[in-house]
């Protein structure tokens, strides 16, 4: 074995949990403790252990050394453990795993997120950091994940496969080509190639197929995103090497995927809710659950707080009639097996991390206590440790830059003649897809006039990486603003600044306010900021605690409603209407995108 520097370098420069030599020393202590040749660090006595391998519940004790489970035994060791904790006859359940999540959706940093998810029993998140990657690229991502090993939960990386999502149709801050993807896949924390858009298979994209091959060469899997795929298209997708899908919404889709050897992640997020349909189908028709997992994909902190996180998926599945141990397996062992990390987690077994929940029920899991790495991290719904705050570097905290100073007149849509028949994006409340409609608007002095009465408003997408000063111009129906403007720097997946408004000065002020705050959500009227949620980390995330973020988010929403906005979640709507990959239309800094035809189209239909 080489020296430690070489070992770390081989792993791509990412600070791993431990060097080989340190790991060796610890492993020896773990083995000695397993043999009862030296004391355990912790013995959790008197638990009803949910064994996800044998599908049995066993009255026993859990012995822990160096953060690992080393003994499962009903007899006590002869060496007195350093600490003995009374399990109080609770069920001991392996820590829950979210199989696919975009952590940026929570608007929180990983340390701040801990208090939201860990008390609900989630101890491992498999994150696809697509948003950060689009903003900050390889180097930014490496900086972002530096320090994740100090969190009170585990993070593994699904290496984002679409950065940018729509090359040529948008300007992004970063890009992950094949080489960058290979570097990331070399990290031990990387467990897969992240969800891959079926269009890339349909069009036989060299870059994306090379990324799949790169993952396979490293013994890692490739995550799918098989939205709506069936028949030959689904088989072509599986042939390409995609190993799972989290976009499955019907039981028929689930059965088809499982039969092709694809895993299925049953998702329950804030808007995409698939547990009821899929689990009901399984309960009614039967299905082998070994390749089923749970995920949230995108779930807001308010929803996590009110209904739970992955424990919600498990609890609801049980309520729908799934066997509790099968439901728990879907959130633990199955995911660990699928991602080739079963030797580390997914069960309470010797050699695995001591990540587990103590709960009084396995039919409705509300953790009494949560242990991660053998340490008590949450109790009765509260985090009981303080995750170390990360001092993120300026590279991630100063990402919003305009190419040049904007003026009010930049927020006008030029046109000739007396009127214009134009394409208009029509929001569908609560959905990320939209309709393409048309409207005829007046033109005065060469400028398109907003039709506030019929809620057809101008919308702009301002390039914010200081690269080219692009401004995309469009029209949108559905926000309902009567005056003022709203703007945000979260705009999938390029995360330029999107702004909608009645008044061009308010729009300019809103964009300037976001540059000043280095990102966020803002509401402006009468030339002044009415409310703002700053998101200075990549323009995507706050560095505040969840309470502060929640309060600010409520304020900006409420301020938007004061301006007449009709939507429950106006900033979410704003963030998805910029997507060049979700039908029907999207607005990027390059212009209006006809999503189904993958091209930029003019605003005017004349």
As measured in angstroms, the least distance from the Cβ of 46 to its own copies is 19
Angle at the Cα of 486 from the Cα atoms of 485 and 490, rounded to 5 degrees: 150
Q: What does the block give as tokens for 250?
A: 């019907």
With contact defined as beta carbons under 8 Å apart, do 415 and 466 qualify?
no
CB-nearer residue toward its own copies: 54 or 386? 54
> Shortest approach of its own copies to residue 135 CB, angstroms?
25
- From the list 355, 328, 337, the residue with the least C-alpha distance to 69 is 355
Q: Which is nearer to its own copies, 127 or 212 (CB)?
A: 212
Alpha carbon 539 to its chain centroid, in Å, reads 15
**What are the tokens at 526?**
């009468």
Site for its own copies in 340-399 (CB under 8 A): 340, 342-343, 347, 349-352
As measured in angstroms, the least distance from the Cβ of 193 to its own copies is 12
Q: Which residues neighbour 570 within 8 Å (Cβ) at sequence distance 6 or greater?
A: 479, 486, 557, 560
The burial of 303, by beta-carbon neighbours within 10 Å (0-12 exposed, 13-18 middle, 19 or more buried), is given as middle
Contact 540, 489 (CB under 8 A): yes
- Residues 18-47 binding its own copies (CB under 8 A) are 20, 23-24, 27-28, 30-32, 34-36
Supply the minimum distance, in Å, between the C-beta of residue 253 and its own copies: 14
Q: Which of residues 195-214 bind its own copies (CB under 8 A)?
A: 201-202, 204, 206, 209-210, 212-214
Residues 70 to 109: which contact its own copies by CB under 8 A? 70-73
Task: Compute the C-alpha angle 295/301/302, nearest 5°.
Answer: 120
Q: Considering the complex, state which of residue 301 and residue 349 has its C-beta at the smaller distance from its own copies.
A: 349
Question: Which two three-digit tokens encode residue 26?
Answer: 């610890």
# residues near its own copies by CB under 8 A: 72
Q: Give the x-and-dash track for 280-319 against its own copies (CB under 8 A).
A: -------xx-xx----------------------------
Enumerate residues 6+ apart whose C-beta is below 8 A from 597: none
Sites for its own copies among residues 230-249 (CB under 8 A)? 232-233, 235-236, 238-241, 243
State the binding string over 146-185 for its own copies (x if CB under 8 A, else -).
--------------------------------xx--x---
Closer by beta carbon to its own copies, 178 or else 600: 178
**Of 38, 46, 76, 216, which one interacts with its own copies (CB under 8 A)?**
216
Q: CB of 44: closest distance to its own copies in angstroms?
A: 15
Touching its own copies, residues 407-466 (CB under 8 A):
none
Angle between helix axes 110-117 and 546-562 (nearest 10 degrees) is: 90
Q: Pairing state of beta strands 375-379 and 382-383?
A: antiparallel
Q: Which of 261, 414, 429, 602 is in the footprint of its own copies by CB under 8 A?
A: 261
Min CB(78)–its own copies separation in Å? 11
- Where helices occur in 240-369 by DSSP H, the ranges are 251-259, 275-285, 301-307, 310-319, 324-330, 333-338
* Smallest separation, CB 30 to its own copies (Å): 5
Interactions with its own copies, residue window 52-71 (CB under 8 A): 53-56, 58, 68-71
Nearest CA among 523, 121, 236, 564 for reference residue 533: 523
What is the closest distance, in whole angstroms, from the C-beta atom of residue 373 to its own copies in the complex?
15
């Amino acid at each position: 074995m080489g020296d430690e520097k070489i070992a770390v370098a081989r792993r791509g420069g990412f600070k791993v949990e431990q060097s080989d030599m340190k790991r060796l020393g610890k492993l020896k202590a773990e083995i000695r403790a397993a043999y009862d040749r030296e004391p355990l660090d912790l013995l959790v006595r008197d638990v009803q252990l949910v064994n996800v391998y044998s599908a049995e519940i066993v009255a026993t004790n859990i012995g822990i050394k160096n953060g690992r489970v080393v003994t499962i035994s009903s007899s006590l060791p002869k060496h007195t453990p350093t600490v003995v904790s009374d399990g109080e006859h609770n069920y001991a359940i392996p820590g829950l795993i979210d199989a696919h999540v975009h952590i940026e959706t929570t608007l929180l940093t990983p340390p701040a997120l801990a208090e939201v998810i860990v008390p609900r029993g989630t101890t491992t998140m498999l994150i696809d950091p697509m948003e950060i990657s689009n903003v900050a690229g390889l180097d930014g991502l490496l900086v972002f994940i530096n320090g994740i090993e100090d969190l009170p939960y585990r993070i593994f990386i699904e290496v984002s496969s679409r950065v940018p999502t729509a090359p040529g149709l948008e300007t992004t801050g970063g890009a992950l080509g094949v080489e960058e993807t290979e570097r990331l896949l070399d990290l031990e924390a990387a467990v897969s190639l992240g969800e891959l858009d079926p269009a890339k298979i349909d069009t036989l994209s060299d870059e994306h197929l090379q990324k799949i091959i790169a993952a396979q060469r490293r013994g890692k899997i490739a995550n799918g995103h098989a939205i709506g795929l069936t028949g030959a298209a689904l088989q072509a997708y599986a042939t390409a090497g995609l190993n799972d899908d989290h976009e499955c919404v019907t039981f028929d889709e689930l059965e088809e995927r499982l039969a092709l050897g694809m895993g299925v992640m049953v998702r329950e997020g804030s808007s995409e809710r698939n547990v009821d349909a899929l689990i009901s189908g399984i309960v009614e028709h039967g299905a082998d659950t070994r390749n089923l997992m749970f995920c949230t994909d995108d779930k807001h902190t308010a929803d996590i707080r009110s209904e739970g996180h992955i424990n919600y998926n498990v609890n609801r599945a049980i309520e729908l009639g799934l066997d509790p141990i099968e439901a728990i397996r879907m959130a633990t062992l199955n995911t660990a097996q699928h991602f080739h990390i079963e030797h580390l987690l997914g069960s309470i077994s010797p050699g695995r991390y001591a990540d587990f929940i103590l709960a009084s029920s396995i039919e409705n899991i509300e953790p009494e206590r949560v242990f991660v790495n053998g340490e008590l991290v949450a109790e009765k719904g509260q985090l009981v440790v303080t995750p170390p705050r990360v001092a993120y570097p300026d590279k991630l905290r100063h990402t919003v830059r305009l190419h040049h100073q904007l003026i009010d007149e930049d927020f006008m849509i030029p046109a000739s003649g007396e009127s214009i028949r134009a394409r208009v994006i029509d929001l569908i409340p609560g959905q990320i897809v939209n309709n393409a409609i048309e409207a005829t608007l007046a033109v005065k002095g060469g400028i398109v006039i907003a039709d506030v009465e019929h809620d057809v408003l101008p919308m702009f997408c301002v390039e914010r990486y200081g690269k080219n000063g692009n401004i995309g111009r469009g029209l949108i129906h559905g926000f309902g603003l009567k005056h003022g403007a709203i703007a945000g720097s979260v705009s999938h997946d390029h995360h330029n600044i999107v702004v909608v408004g009645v008044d061009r000065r308010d729009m300019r002020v809103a964009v300037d306010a976001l540059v000043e705050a280095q990102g966020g959500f803002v509401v402006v009227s009468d030339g002044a900021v009415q409310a703002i949620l700053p998101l200075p980390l990549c323009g995507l995330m706050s560095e505040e605690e969840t309470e502060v973020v929640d309060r600010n988010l409520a304020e900006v929403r409420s301020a938007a409603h004061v301006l007449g906005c009709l939507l429950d979640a106006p900033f979410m709507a704003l963030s998805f209407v910029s997507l060049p990959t979700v039908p029907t239309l999207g607005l990027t800094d390059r212009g209006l995108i006809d999503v189904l035809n993958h091209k930029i189209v003019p605003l005017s239909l004349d």
